[in-house]
Amino acid sequence: MIEFNFLEGEVLLFDKPLGWTSFDVVNKVRGMIKYHAKIKKIKVGHAGTLDPLATGLLVICTGKKTKTINEIQAEHKEYTGVITLGGTTPSYDLETEVDTQFPTDHITEETIYACAKTFVGQSEQKVPSYSAKWVNGQRAYKKARRGEAVDTGTKSIEILSFEVEKIEMPNVYFRISCSKGTYIRSIADDFGQNLNSGSHLSKLCRTAINKLKLADAISVEAFETLLDEKFKEQKV
């Protein structure tokens, strides 16, 4: 049976479900730990936000290990996902509906592979208006959802690799390794523009944060079962 010391600190790997915010997972895990381990107060935090429409690796730290959150966040990330060509959305993903359609007949597999290569390296990336960035004392996405114009500016990023794994028009399946804070949604929006078309992110999964892998993560439900078995055993 796995041994836990939540106050001294644990680094826990979760597979975040679709539709959950990162804070939903943190709050659920904190509640389960407090209930099963009979701990009244404990620090619990995540090392890198995932959007509700994204799935995959979410690292959660407890107790004294919360001091390592910044260190983990600074590591490079790996994602897989799908860019859908032919239409843009205000949020660059499926949080909002497609608002403009574009032709794709001129796009070939060769131009798609060539386009992906142009993203590798350092660049300035536009920050989505539908983002958590603070703008004039408020989260940008709140202004965007009210239809207000938002100037979120740009940020420096680095794409370490951009692999096109499969093409099933209009969908481009990819794997990206990138620096901290990279907006894959922005890459998806830029991808269509660079092909003289439009596009949006239709699927995203974080598969790794440096050496921490999604393959080693567990579901929230499996973690609750683990705690139940662990602390039931201690009571016997």
Closest to 183 measured CA to CA, from 232, 236, 119? 119
Instruction: Please state, as a whole number, how many other Cβ atoms lie within 10 Å of the Cβ of residue 80.
Output: 19
Instruction: Report, in this order, helix, strand and coil percent for the chain, each rounded to 5.
Output: 30, 35, 35
Contacts of 143 (CB under 8 A, 6+ apart): 129, 135, 149, 150
Give residue 202's identity as a one-letter amino acid code. S
171-178 and 199-209 strand pairing? unpaired
**Residue 107 dihedral angles phi and psi, to the nearest 5°:** -85, 130
The answer to whether the beta carbons of residues 200 and 87 sit under 8 Å apart is yes
* Residues recognised as catalytic: 51
Give residue 224's identity as a one-letter amino acid code. E
Q: Which long-range contacts (CB under 8 A, 24 or more apart) does 34-41 make?
A: 36/227, 36/228, 36/230, 36/231, 37/4, 37/6, 37/227, 37/231, 39/6, 39/7
Instruction: Please state, as a whole number, how many other Cβ atoms lie within 10 Å of the Cβ of residue 139.
Output: 15
Instruction: Say how far apart CA 176 and CA 178 lie, in whole Å.
Output: 6
